[in-house]
Amino acid sequence: MQVNITSKCNLFCKHCHINAGLNRHEEMSLETMKHVIRLLPNFKILDITGGAPEMNNNYRWLIDNAINSGVHVMTRSNLVIMNESGYQDLPEFLAERGVEIVCSLPFYSENDCDRQRGSGTFKIIISMLKKLNALGYGLSEKLPLDLVYNPGGAFLPPNQSSLEREYKARLKSEHNIEFTNLFAITNNPIGRFREFLDRSGNYDKYMKRLFDSFNPEALPGMMCRFQISVGCDGRLYDCDFNQPLGLAIDEPDNISKVNNISQLTPRKIKFADHCYACVAGNGSSCGGTTA
Ligand code: SF4
Ligand code: SF4
């Protein structure tokens, strides 16, 4: 189960598919989180995302209760937030509970990272990665630390394994940083990335690139076939990309109405043109390539 617990974010990245920022105020309530916890025994993994999920006041409550349910918990983080007042003890909090951390690092060079995420972000992320390494993250099997690459423009990601080797070599030699896995994610043509494509006159070209790279071998690994995505207000979606497009599941339309997991599966997935981003080239999901 993937839960989007806030659209609020301390950053304003250019590629953000949900238009997150400090100007957004949607937040998952404690009541909705209780429904998440109620249904969790039916799932293996809870994947917590946002916005910056840490900015939801009940973030720690959700983690503690999910762990008590026996599922593996992973949290997405931009890491910059962990440098801000009120969040600085989060690395220790997450390490003590064995929470997997997935951090977006668009590239291993300062210029490329700062261009997408904002000036000064690279240096903070590097210092946070060092702190996480010192706690055992990225070094111990019990504390996975994953990085996310996404292209800095209207092109597809390169091969994930080669890129992972490149990231590992560069981060080790230049910063003495280690991490577990690299996830290469294709930019989905929605949200701020869609706005960029429109502004730069690249939308048609990008969509054609996705259509032309359609890979049937990526179909079995589409993440919508194995997960459910819960929005801040409890509405249910096939994936996080369908949320900003308003492509919610018809029935049941809210997690509060789910009494039995069989109500959600099998179901018809809501597809649209943006889905080509998941099945182009090596395939793409929140966990990286799929083919
Ligand atoms: S991409 Fe992530 S860190 Fe950047 S603005 Fe969106 S939610 Fe925040
Ligand atoms: S194929 Fe479409 S519905 Fe499935 S995960 Fe991708 S964007 Fe979501």
In the chain, at which residue ranges do the beta strands (DSSP E only) sit?
2-4, 45-49, 72-77, 100-104, 145-149, 182-184, 229-230, 236-237
pLDDT of residue 261: 94
Q: What is the DSSP string of 63-79?
A: HHHHHHTT-EEEEEE-S
Q: Which of 224, 240, 245 to mutate to test the pocket of ligand 2 (most atoms within 8 A of CB)?
A: 224
Flag whether 290 is in a domain: no
Say yes or no to pLDDT of 257 above 90: yes
Flag whether 287 is in a domain: no
Q: Are 76 and 49 in contact (CB under 8 A)?
A: yes
| Closest residue by CA, ligand 2 atom 8 | 239
pLDDT digits (tens, 9 = 90+) for 54-99: 999 999 999 999 999 999 999 999 999 999 999 999 999 999 999 9
pLDDT of residue 42: 96
Atom number in ligand 1 closest to CA 51? 7
Atom number in ligand 2 closest to CA 285? 5
Number of domains forming the structure of the chain:
1
Query: Average per-residue pLDDT in the chain?
Result: 96
pLDDT band at 15 (very low <50, low <70, confident <90, very high): confident
CATH for 32:
3.20.20.70
Flag whether 103 is in a domain: yes
Helix-then-strand count for the chain, H and E: 8, 8
Polymer length in residues for the chain? 291
Q: Which ligand neighbours the alpha carbon of 117 most closely?
A: 1
Q: What Rg, from alpha-carbon coordinates, does the chain have?
A: 18
Q: What is the DSSP string of 150-188?
A: --SSSS----HHHHHHHHHHHHHHHH----S-EEE-PPP
| Closest residue by CA, ligand 2 atom 5 | 224
Flag whether 280 is in a domain: no
Q: Which ligand neighbours the alpha carbon of 15 most closely?
A: 1
Query: To the nearest whole percent, how much of the chain has pLDDT over 70?
Result: 100
Closest C-alpha to 264, from 276, 254, 279, 275: 254
Determine the Cα–Cα distance for residues 109 and 95; give it in Å rounded to an integer: 27
Determine the Cα–Cα distance for residues 225 and 168; give it in Å rounded to an integer: 31
- How far apart are the CA of 133 and the centre of ligand 1, in A? 23
Q: Are 114 and 148 in contact (CB under 8 A)?
A: no
Q: Which of 48, 78, 80, 117 to mutate to test the pocket of ligand 1 (most atoms within 8 A of CB)?
A: 78
Q: Which ligand neighbours the alpha carbon of 12 most closely?
A: 1
Determine the Cα–Cα distance for residues 40 and 227; give it in Å rounded to an integer: 12
Phi, psi angle pair for 86, to nearest 5°: 95, -10
Phi, psi angle pair for 48, to nearest 5°: -100, 125
- How far apart are the CA of 44 and the centre of ligand 2, in A? 20
Provide the domain limits for residue 244: 2-197+223-272
Flag whether 26 is in a domain: yes
Flag whether 211 is in a domain: no
Determine the Cα–Cα distance for residues 78 and 73; give it in Å rounded to an integer: 17
- How far apart are the CA of 191 and the centre of ligand 1, in A? 11
| Closest residue by CA, ligand 2 atom 2 | 275
pLDDT digits (tens, 9 = 90+) for 81-91: 999 999 999 99
Ligand 1: residues with CB < 6 A are 9, 11-13, 16, 20, 50-52, 78
Closest C-alpha to 21, from 32, 33, 37, 9: 9
pLDDT of residue 80: 97
pLDDT of residue 77: 98
pLDDT of residue 139: 98
Closest C-alpha to 18, from 249, 274, 284, 254: 274
Flag whether 63 is in a domain: yes
Q: Which of 190, 214, 222 to mutate to test the pocket of ligand 2 (most atoms within 8 A of CB)?
A: 222
Pairing of strands 45-49, 2-4: parallel
Report whether residue 184 contacts ligand 2, using a CB cutoff of 6 Å. no
Atom number in ligand 2 closest to CA 269? 3
Flag whether 53 is in a domain: yes
pLDDT digits (tens, 9 = 90+) for 32-52: 999 999 999 999 999 999 999
Q: Are 203 and 188 in contact (CB under 8 A)?
A: no
